[in-house]
Structure 1
């Protein structure tokens, strides 16, 4: 009865409710694990909302002031079985359509249910590496503490979105993100002086004004070249982003040379 009265009062104040239940095999959960999980979930939701609201991918795990203000959950109460938290968040209840907050919660739940590398890459391209990195941290802390999650996004008696995920699934999600990376490449044509080349290691050193281009030779370059000499060069810049660490590594590949 008290729970029903709380949901009705929350709705009257235009507050949606997030019921977050953490379950585990052990009977004694650690505070450090619970604190990390809730903090990760807040960051994951805020970053996803920022991407949904701005319609731009979030490249880094940084939350702006506006997004932080609009997505900060309020604490209401706890409940048993195993450990449950009831959180509240202001949301526009006058519209018949999903708000950006609703969409962000749906995206979070969808990402958590997508442990395949190709699905992770697609989410990262649409919403940015930032939310995927936050998802990795959230899944890692759940997996490290062998805690599952049962989350409901509610408005009075209506469950608007939900997620039930067990520790083995969270470990699978964590491992999939750890093994997934995205490769982006662009080609640029530059004019500079070829000052070094290593045929055995297949590397080159091209000086373009004040910048040095150092990288690998493509298999297409088998003809003799002169060093030092000025050339027009076609260079591919290939960037690999590892989602679990948000690290980027850029490699330059010399595709062709002409006088």
Structure 2
């Protein structure tokens, strides 16, 4: 975006001057000259920002003002700030990828999708820790290539229960939910609220302030949310072990899988179980997926067991 470097540099210098004058006013709050200079420089900065936004609209540049506001008596830990910015980029790119290439289960961003949704730092501005980010889009008369991803940011911050988490997973993929968790949790742990404002190149303005408590709740809903898939599998194999007291069992399929688990509540324990015998069984396989950690918890329950049977040897 070198074509916009001059205007962006003007805005950067203007807002930097505003910050310096504000810092000087904190040391000398009654200095009239500083007060006049601050008002004047704020007008310069506002004009520079207005010029930048107009230039961006003409050239299909989407402008994001991203401001992190620390809780009282908290500062700007570098690790927390950098992580929150990185996770915001990852979330935005994952959202764009879900529209471009379809929803994904794993939090992996396609190379082209990442390049097309990369956010470029323009400058910082006063008022907590604010940064202006730019990204180029393709736009026709009706829509822009990044419109859906931008609007989805504001849908995501409306998460208010576990069902909303599952709805996002269904519509945009598990990968997006994982990115939402990483982003919201990084801000909450860092002690930040966040103010997000997008000025799209079609002139539409979207803006919302999300406080730290709300970010914590979003992360909490994702931690609580999980999907469970249950399948009853017919298994023929060797009973490697079975413990009547603990309910543990192990069945191995020759040249195949090994199933370890416990007796189901409905399982009727046979009078005899021959270790090393060949049995037919129904095993309930449960796969529980946790969005926040992107991990699976597998468990097996033995539903029924019949045998032992004699296995004919291959000639």
Distance 2:171 2:232 in 1: 23
Cα distance in 2 for residues equivalent to 1:95 and 1:231: 67
Counterpart selection for 1:235 from 283, 287, 290: 283
Which protein is richer in helix relative to its size? 2
* Deviations, residues 43-84 of structure 1 (Å, cap 9, x unaligned): 11111222222223x222322212211111111122111221
Match of 2:66 among 20, 31, 35: 20
Secondary structure of the structure 2 residue equivalent to 1:213: strand
* Aligned: 1:7 with 2:34: no
**RMSD over aligned Cα atoms:** 2.1
**Higher-strand-fraction structure:** 1
Partner of 2:92: 45
1:26 Cα deviation from its structure 2 partner:
4.4
Q: Which residue of 2 aligns with 1:192?
A: 237
Alignment of 1:180-259 (within 5 A): 180-210=225-255, 211-224=257-270, 226-227=273-274, 228-259=276-307
Q: Deviations over 1:116-144 (max 9, x none)?
A: 12211232233333222222221122112
Residue in 1 aligned with 2:76?
Answer: 29
- Residue pairs, 1:138-217, within 5 angstroms: 138-155=183-200, 158-210=203-255, 211-217=257-263
Structure 1 match to 2:8: none
Note the C-alpha offset of 1:212: 1.2
Q: Distance in 2 between matches of 1:198 and 1:125?
A: 41
Question: Residue in 1 aligned with 2:181?
Answer: 136
Which range moves more in the overlay, 236-245 or 22-31? 22-31
Q: How many residues align?
A: 257
Q: Distance in 2 between matches of 1:145 and 1:183?
A: 32
The answer on whether the counterparts of 1:4 and 1:156 sit within 8 Å (CA) in structure 2 is no
**Per-residue deviation at 1:98?**
5.5
What runs of 5+ residues in structure 1 fail to find an aligned partner? Answer: none
What secondary structure sits across from 1:60 in the alignment? coil
Tell me which of the two structures has the higher relative contact order, counting C-alpha pairs closer than 8 angstroms and 6 or more residues apart.
1
Larger Rg: 2
Contact 2:268 2:304 in 1 (8 A): no
Structure 2 unaligned residues grouped into runs of 5+: 1-46, 308-315
Task: State the match for 2:138 in structure 1.
Answer: 92
CA distance in 2, matches of 1:53, 1:197: 50
CA shift, 1:169, in A, is 0.9
CA distance in 2 between partners of 1:128 and 1:215 (Å): 30
* C-alpha distance in structure 1 between counterparts of 2:235 and 2:74, whole Å: 64
Q: Which residue is 1:105 aligned to?
A: 150
